[in-house]
A = this chain, B = another copy of it.
Amino acid sequence: MATNYDRYVARMKKIADIGHAIAVLSWDKETYLPKKSAAIRSQQIATLSGIVHEEFTDPTFGDLLTRLYNQRNLDEEKKKNISVTIHDYDKATKFTKRFVMQKSMAVSNCFHAWLKAREANDFGLYQESLEALVKIKRTEAKKLDPKADHLYDNLLDQYEPGLTVATCDTIFNDMKKPLKKLIKKIKKKKAPKNGFLFKRYDKDAQWNLGIYILNEMGYDFDRGRQDISTHPFTTSFSADDVRVTTRIDEMDLSNMLWSCIHEGGHALYEQGLPIENYGLPTGSAISLSIHESQSRLWENNVARGKAFWSKYFTTVQKMFPKQLKKQTAKSFYRAINVIEPNLIRTEADELHYHYHVLIRYEIEKALIEGSIEVADLPEVWNAKYKEYLGVEVTDDVNGVLQDIHWSHGSFGYFPTYSLGSFYAAQFYAQAEKDIPKLEQQLAAGNSQVLLDWLRENIHRHGRRYEAEELCEMITGEPLDVKYFMDYAKKKYAEVYS
């Protein structure tokens, strides 16, 4: 006979099935949807979102969760599943189905307005639907916890459980001074040449290189695939179907390279979640900062590293002999690590990157508390780019329109990018201790040892531990920006030698 826990699992799997159907519809929307099919697709996604909400917030399910919470004979893993689900349930029940569907429609509208605005390079075409969405997000934040220290805390918490403005401020403050100092030091030195990265690189050849590298990283194409989209992303329809997208700029090899490796890092995490826990917290990713730690670790600590290119440079050189004939593994490694302020977050170097995040963090915080409005965004954006990065924003596409996130209603997401980098550095430092001769192994193309380490220490646990808890478990310490700074100082001393 089915136990209460069996009933719980069945419901969770059903909800996951519907949720993943939404993910398929959304993936299709961003990769293959015909031009004029957006309106009905948005409605279809909204309908399914309503059904997911209904299934999850059903009071009889709430009762079942309460019964399971009070049940004594569950093992630790089951207990964890129940407590995490109750946490999620309590949040979800703060919203009506109507609200959830409205939000879903507002997101779809906003996403399509964003696409149009980008095409026309005109923020004005985006403003109205973004205003509608921000209004909904403010309401959402209020409903979650009207007494929070900061309304924005409630949105941060959706991506990174427990994260607050106070914590973010501390972390960014810890970062600011040493980062500024390091950049200042670097700027005094002569930058490596990187012009060759911006020659013409054939699109098909770039595509093939991306596929090759994903394979080398251990991404399983039998349980995933890569497609093209405006904004690269990773999506999962189960650990057995984790898809990535990329974009290719013929005049910039780095664009495809970092997007493939970054999304590949996310995808390795999702493919490494235990499929037998499909639909359950223990089968899901912990939080966005841990997710980002995986993408950043592969992107920065591994693939912007010397060992990686000592293995792969000659392969890339063979694929692009004309563009790379005068280069060496070393000159390539130095070129991909040039430190230079720029306009586009996804094309930023590892150091300036955090200013891009900081800017978004400050803007989101102000937007949600209402101290700025959507109409102010371009002006505020441009001013902050001038202030933090010393660059003039030339137009909306290279400014406030560059990211997809706000069009998806994702406010509170960006800070996890910096946290992710910091976690990545701390994890990687530990991996270097745990794995004998890690750098030599990477130089020999054996990144599998690192993947195994990540699978063992992070992926297989799902949401069994919280981010901070996991970090302490693995590294013996809470998150500390110093690991990132140590890594950066050591690396850039070498790059700029």
A interface residues (Cβ-Cβ under 8 A, vs B) = 13-14, 17-18, 20-21, 24-25, 28, 32-37, 39-41, 43-44, 47-48, 51, 220-225, 227, 237-238, 240-241, 243, 275, 278
A454 to B44, CA, bound (A): 29
**Across the interface, do B18 and A47 meet the contact criterion of CB distance under 8 Å?**
yes
Task: Check A34–B238 contact: CB distance below 8 A.
Answer: no
Q: Assess the A43–B17 pair: CB atoms within 8 A.
A: yes
Of B13, B48, B221, B227, the residue contacting A18 (CB under 8 A) is B48
Measured CA separation A20–B237 after assembly (Å): 17
Closest chain B CB from A408 CB (angstroms): 19
Please, which residues of chain B bring their CB within 8 A of the CB of A41?
Answer: 237, 241
Query: Which residue of chain B is the closest to A221 with respect to CB atoms?
Result: B34
Contact B225 A40 (CB under 8 A): no
Tell me the nearest residue of chain B to A225, going by C-beta.
B34
- The contact of A240 among B36, B224, B225, B238, by CB within 8 Å, is B36
> A251–B13 Cα gap in the complex (Å)?
46
- Which residues of B are found within 8 Å of A227, using beta-carbon distances? 32
Can you list 11 A-B pairs with a CB-CB distance of less than 8 A?
A17-B43, A18-B51, A21-B44, A21-B48, A24-B25, A34-B221, A35-B223, A39-B240, A40-B237, A40-B241, A51-B51
Task: Collect the chain B residues with CB atoms within 8 Å of residue A18's CB.
Answer: 47-48, 51
Q: A241 with B34: in contact, given A14-B47, A28-B28, A40-B278 (CB under 8 Å)?
A: yes
A227 vs B240: C-alpha distance when bound (angstroms) = 23
Chain B residue at minimal CB-CB distance from A28: B24
A289 vs chain B, min Cβ distance (A): 27
Set of chain B residues within 8 Å of A20, measured between Cβ atoms: 40, 44
Question: What residue in chain B is nearest A15 (Cβ atoms)?
Answer: B47
Determine how close the nearest CB of chain B comes to the CB of A272; give it in whole angstroms.
Answer: 15
Most buried by B among A40, A51, A224, A237: A40
Contacts of A21 in B (CB 8 A): 21, 24-25, 44, 48
The answer to whether B32 and A225 have CB atoms under 8 Å apart is yes
CA distance A117 to B240 in the complex (A): 22
Residues of B within 8 A of A278 (CB): 40
A261 and B46 CA atoms in complex are apart in Å by 34
Q: Which residues of B contact A33 (CB under 8 A)?
A: 241
Please give, as numbers and ranges, the residues of chain B lying within 8 Å of A225 by CB-CB distance.
Answer: 32, 34
Contacts A20-B44, A21-B48, A34-B241 given; 15 further ones with Cβ under 8 A? A13-B47, A18-B47, A18-B51, A24-B25, A24-B28, A28-B28, A32-B225, A32-B227, A34-B224, A34-B240, A36-B223, A37-B237, A40-B237, A41-B237, A51-B51
Question: Please, which residues of chain B bring their CB within 8 A of the CB of A28?
Answer: 24, 28
Are A222 and B32 in contact, CB atoms less than 8 angstroms apart? no
- Report the separation of the CA atoms of residues A72 and B246 in the bound assembly, to the nearest whole angstrom: 57
Q: Is the CB of B222 within 8 A of A36?
A: yes
With A and B bound together, what is the CA distance between A359 and B472 in angstroms?
A: 69
A205 to chain B, nearest CB (A): 17
A442 vs B47: C-alpha distance when bound (angstroms): 43
A48 surroundings in chain B (CB, below 8 A):
17-18, 21
